Amino acid sequence: MRKGERSARTRILEIDRLLTSCYGDSPRSTSSPDLLDGLVLTILSQNTSDVNSHRAFRSLKDRFPGWDQAAEAGEEEIEKAIRSGGISQVKAGRIKAILDMLQQETGSYSLEHLRDMEPQLALDYLMDIPGVGRKTAAVLLLFRLDYPYFPVDTHIFRVGKRLGVIPAKSNPEKAHDLMDEMVPDDIKYRFHINLITHGRQVCKARKPNCVECCLNKRCDRVGVEEEGNHNA
C-alpha cells in the first residue's frame, strides 16, 4: 500500500471511530432473506425515502405474493402497486424486465444462484441486469451477502468529498472503486450506514450543522453548502 493510500485508510478508520461513538455499531443482520426481494426493494429505494420504498414493496407483495404472479401481470399493474414509491413507471419497467430476464435465463424467478458466485462474478452479473447500476448492485451484495462492496449514494458521495475521503474530482464510479479498496471489509457495513445517517441528519447538502458535527475537527470544509446527486 502506497503512502497516500495508508493515509486515506488511517483517515477512514479515524472517521469510523468517531461516527461509531456518535451513532453506534450498526451490526449487519445475520438473517439471509430472499435475494430477488432484496434487489426489488433496492430498486424501489432509488430516489425516494426508506418509508416510501418499504411501503411500495409491501404493496407490491400484497398484490403479487409470488414473483410468478408479478411476471404474469402487466407493467401497468405493477406500476399501480408501487406508485407510493415514486418514479413508479420507470421502476415498474425495471422490475418487469428483471423478471422476464430471470425466467429466460434460469427458468425461475430467483437470484439465489448469486450465493454460489465469487464476489466479482456476482457484481458483474448484477451490473448486466437492466436498470441495475453500481450502487444498487453494491447494496444487494453488501447487505444481503456481506460481499466486500461499498455502496456510494448521494449522501456518502457528498460527505466523503467534504471529509477528503473521496477526491474532489472523483465521479461516482471512481468513488465506488476507491471506497471498495480503502474501507476495510470488516467495517464496510457499519461505515456505510453511519455515513448515510450523518449525511441525512447533520452533514446536509444545504445548511450542514457543523457546530454539532462529531467530525468538525477532522473536516476541512466546515460550513460549506453544496449539492450532491448520485442515485445510480
Q: Can you tell me the distance from the alpha carbon of 182 to that of 101, in angstroms, rounded to the nearest whole number?
A: 34
In-domain check, residue 221: no
In the three-class reduction of DSSP (H, G, I as helix; E, B as strand; rest coil), residue 164 is classed as: coil
In-domain check, residue 231: no
In-domain check, residue 134: yes
- Overall average pLDDT of the 216-221 stretch: 81
In-domain check, residue 232: no
Q: pLDDT band for 1, please (50, 70, 90 cuts).
A: low
Say if residue 108 is in the same domain as residue 42. Answer: yes
E strand intervals along the chain: none
State which residues form the domain around 102: 35-145
Read off the pLDDT of residues 9-20 as tens digits, 9 standing for 90 and up.
889 999 999 999
- Overall average pLDDT of the 94-115 stretch: 94
Q: What is the pLDDT of residue 8?
A: 81
Say if residue 163 is in the same domain as residue 140. Answer: no
Q: pLDDT band for 130, please (50, 70, 90 cuts).
A: confident
- CATH code at 154? 1.10.1670.10
Which of 96, 135, 161, 188 is the catalytic position? Answer: 135
More confident residue, 124 or 46: 124
Q: How many CB atoms neighbour CB 117 within 10 A?
A: 16
pTM across the whole model: 0.86
Is 91 an annotated catalytic residue? no
Query: What is the crossing angle of helices 188-201 and 3-23, to 10°?
Result: 60
In the three-class reduction of DSSP (H, G, I as helix; E, B as strand; rest coil), residue 170 is classed as: coil
Say if residue 13 is in the same domain as residue 113. Answer: no
Say if residue 112 is in the same domain as residue 171. Answer: no
Q: Which of 124, 145, 166 is the last residue of a domain?
A: 145
- CATH code at 93? 1.10.340.30
Say if residue 67 is in the same domain as residue 13. Answer: no
Domain count, the chain: 2
In-domain check, residue 223: no
Does pLDDT of 229 surpass 80? no
Q: What is the pLDDT of residue 71?
A: 94
Say if residue 41 is in the same domain as residue 116. Answer: yes
Q: Which of 98, 113, 145 is the last residue of a domain?
A: 145
